[in-house]
Every structure is written in structure tokens, then in C-alpha cells.
Amino acid sequence: MNIEQLRASKILIIDDAEANLRLLEELLTKEGFEQVISTTDPTKTMDLVNAFQPDLILLDLMMPVLDGFAVLDQLSHHVGPHDFLPVLVLTADATIATRRKALALGAKDFLTKPFDHMEAMLRVWNLLETRWLFNQLKMHQPSLHLPGMNTHNP
């Protein structure tokens, strides 16, 4: 694995605040990511996931119409038991109950807004590397039955 392979990753950002999308897009661009799409409409998540096939999702929790918890629930039914699509939750809600609920619904990492930009990018790199390693393992060991990466699909 090299850094260019990770920079080719597809990243989907879902946040109802346009300013948050611009900030995350700018941070990711500075890191060399070129395949980044974003939406302020969480109801479009599944269509975007199906069309774009992201390697990582950055997700806000507090959004109107469809909150991040509902998005995580939708994703849990979409991602197969032997797949790994990491979700990094970015939210202003720092309560332990929110953190636990997001992680229980399948989020792989959690950051509280306002977040440290360097820490956020390190978490992005770590999640992308984990996805890459997971996919390499699947490719080289196709008969290996990997444990479900999703808590809703044992």
C-alpha cells in the first residue's frame, strides 16, 4: 500500500451545513484527495452510496428530516456482513449516549465538533488504511469468512 492508493479513495461527506462541507472538502483537498463528493441532503445518501461507491463516509448526526442515526441504520442494511465501509461521525453532540448510539449503529470512529483538523485527517487516513487492508485480506483470502463488520448483520 502506498499513499497514492489511499489518495485515490472515494470520500462522501454528509452534513446539512454548507460551511461544514466546504471546510471538510478543503481539508481533504489539502491532503491530496480528489474523489470527494458531498451533500447537505441526507435523504440522498443511499443513492450516492450506490452510485459513487465511497471508501469512507463522513457523517453529521444532527440533521433535519433524516438524522445521522437514521443514515447509519440505512447503511447497516446496505453494507454486507463481509464488507467494511467505515463511517466517521462528526457532531457537536458530545454526550456519551450519542457516542454509544452512533458506534452501536455501525460508526467506526467519532469526533466532536469543533474538531482538531490534524486529528480529523489522521482519523480519515487510519480508516482508509483499515478499509484498504480489509479489502486486501478479502482479495487474497476469498474463502476466509471474515467476521461481520456490521453489528446488525452477524
pLDDT in tens, 84-100: 999 999 999 999 999 99
In this structure, which amino acid lies at residue 23?
A: L
State pLDDT tens for residues 52-77: 999 999 999 999 999 999 999 999 99
Distances (CA, A) of 12 to 9, 34, 87: 10, 11, 10
Query: Among residues of the chain, what percentage have pLDDT more than 70?
Result: 91
Give pLDDT, residue 151: 44
Question: How confident is the model over 38-57, as pLDDT tens digits?
Answer: 999 999 999 999 999 999 99
Tell me how long the chain is: 154
Nearest to 147 by CA among 81, 72, 87: 81
pTM: 0.90
| Runs of H (alpha helix) within 18-116 | 18-30, 45-52, 68-78, 96-104
Q: What are the distances in angstroms from CA 150 to CA 47, 84, 92?
A: 20, 8, 24
Q: State how far the alpha carbon of 7 is from the alpha carbons of 55, 72, 90, 138, 153, in Å.
A: 11, 25, 21, 21, 29
Q: Is the pLDDT of residue 150 over 50?
A: no
Q: Return the number of other C-beta atoms located less than 10 Å from residue 30's C-beta.
A: 10
